[in-house]
Amino acid sequence: MSRELEEFKPQNENEVTFYSCGPTVYDFAHIGNLRSYIFADILQRTLKFNGYNVKRVINITDVGHLTGDQDAGEDKIEKTARLESKTAWEIAEFYTKAFKEDLEKLNIIEPTIWAKATDHIEEQIDLIKKLEEKGFTYKISDGIYFDTSKIEKYGKLARLNLEGQEEGSRVEVNKEKKNPTDFALWKFSPVDGQRQMEWESPWGVGFPGWHVECSAMSMKYLGDTLDIHTGGIDHIPVHHTNEIAQSESVTGKSLANYWLHNEFLIVSDGKMAKSKGNFITLSALEEKDIEPIVYRFYALSAHYRSKLNFSWDSLENINQSWKKFKKKFIDLGEQTGQVNAELLEKFTVDINNDMATPQALAIAWEVFKTSVSDADKRATLIKFDEIFGLGLAKLKSEQTDIPEEVAKLVQEREEVRKNKKWEKSDELRDKILELGWLVEDDSLGTKLKKK
Ligand SMILES: [Zn+2]
């Protein structure tokens, strides 16, 4: 696709339709997953910045995503339910909530519609029926499958080379499938056991395959052709390829006019993944006293189409640089002046050029060095923050929030400490604690933190 926003043409100029593939809610999201939602958030903000209204859907996969690659294995949600001795519904609800909390901590704008797979079983069955009527499906012992040999350009998005392609040697080949790339639309519940999540269907009791929900729900809420579809690059070869196959076979129209995918977050041993056990969550950052927003700042420092190499050292560097940025911003004072047109123009050129966030951040740093007034600097940076989403306008000097009573006690404590009256100092510390504030002494002096 063209990467210049000027060449972007939505179908309806008043509203851009935008679909992002969401999480499978069987565990906490790791920061590699979250990179994808930060990227899509920047995209949504960029559209708004340019005057577009956006109607956006994010789906929640709470059924049908199996542990095996080829529609085999256990349902991820039911597996966690078994391991945690909870119901599949409880697991899905718990991790959906955790996911939404993560997005909130990262200042990610909520979608217009959250679409949950289990709320749309009927729509998925309808879609499979349509595919069946058109002759794209066949039945084998464990479910209804999509026959990928029935469409001409299967794999066009991924430019898959189908000749000679075989199912991965890691996974057991399903010998009943007609083609290695065929995928499940509806899976039957196992004969030897009952699933927690299962539904009646024209083909028997079971559950939808992973890919069906995105086709069914995007069609329901956003129409046959989306303006924009996003996801991580790992979605290209299978998930998005199969969404295209399903949707386009039903509608005869293109599923999306623009596809945007973000690159991975890389750790020393490769891609961050749950299956590899090398994943880091936002809570792990918080445990190290790093604000979640620092991760957003970190993600902005790399272009979404570049791999981002994660290390705790680099995150700590970004943490320091965020603290510096924050301080400089707070030091501008609380008066907001006029947005500087020249700086805004430079910034807009970079953002509208395929969302060049590292360059845009560099301009933000430059703002501090320019000769415009502090109030105008502040206004300009708040304008930039419509894209960055760092919550700049709400930043205040941490010191100003301290109640007078607490401030007095802290001052008093400083005095007694100078005179080495440690007992009295501890007494004052406890009093301050009772008022909800924590006093910490280190080499740099005394710090005050909210309990
Ligand atoms: Zn999807």
How close is the Cα of 264 to the center of ligand 1, in Å? 17
Residue 445 has a pLDDT of 62
Q: For the whole prediction, is pTM greater than 0.75?
A: yes
| Residue/partner pairs of 136-143 with CB below 8 Å, 24 or more apart | 136/249, 137/185, 138/178, 139/203, 140/174, 140/176, 140/177, 141/176, 141/188, 142/71, 142/174, 142/176, 142/184, 142/187, 142/188, 143/71, 143/184, 143/185, 143/186, 143/187, 143/188, 143/203, 143/206, 143/209
Residues contacting residue 257 through CB under 8 Å, at least 6 positions apart: 9, 11, 225, 226, 227, 228
Residue 170 has a pLDDT of 42
H/E run at residue 217: helix 212-222
Residue 44 has a pLDDT of 97
Query: From first to last of its 451 residues, what are the pLDDT tens digits of the chain?
Result: 345 677 889 999 989 999 999 999 999 999 999 999 999 999 999 999 999 999 999 999 999 888 876 788 889 999 999 999 999 999 999 999 999 999 999 999 999 999 999 999 999 999 999 999 999 999 999 999 999 999 988 888 877 655 545 444 444 568 899 999 999 999 999 888 779 999 999 999 999 999 999 999 999 999 999 999 999 999 998 999 999 999 999 999 999 999 999 999 998 867 787 777 778 999 999 999 999 999 999 999 999 999 999 999 999 999 999 999 999 999 999 999 999 999 999 999 999 999 999 999 999 999 999 999 999 999 999 999 999 999 999 998 765 567 888 888 988 998 898 888 899 999 999 999 998 888 877 655 667 777 7
Residues contacting residue 211 through CB under 8 Å, at least 6 positions apart: 183, 238, 239, 242, 243, 246
How close is the Cα of 243 to the center of ligand 1, in Å? 7
How close is the Cα of 46 to the center of ligand 1, in Å? 22
How close is the Cα of 114 to the center of ligand 1, in Å? 13
The Cα–Cα gap between 373 and 62 comes to 52
Would strands 308-309 and 265-267 be described as parallel, antiparallel, or unpaired?
parallel
The Cα–Cα gap between 344 and 341 comes to 5
Residue 162 has a pLDDT of 53
How close is the Cα of 69 to the center of ligand 1, in Å? 15
The Cα–Cα gap between 204 and 141 comes to 11
How close is the Cα of 161 to the center of ligand 1, in Å? 22
- Residues 282 and 105 sit within 8 Å (Cβ to Cβ): yes
- Residues 34 and 20 sit within 8 Å (Cβ to Cβ): no
How close is the Cα of 234 to the center of ligand 1, in Å? 11
H/E run at residue 413: helix 404-418
Our CA angle for 186, 187, 188, nearest 5°, is 125
How close is the Cα of 95 to the center of ligand 1, in Å? 18
Residues 369, 370, 376, 381, CA torsion sign: negative
The token duo for 42 is 């920047």
H/E run at residue 37: helix 31-49
Residue identified by tokens 């309806």 is 12
How close is the Cα of 320 to the center of ligand 1, in Å? 36
How close is the Cα of 275 to the center of ligand 1, in Å? 20
How close is the Cα of 60 to the center of ligand 1, in Å? 9
How close is the Cα of 73 to the center of ligand 1, in Å? 20
How close is the Cα of 210 to the center of ligand 1, in Å? 8
The Cα–Cα gap between 32 and 232 comes to 10
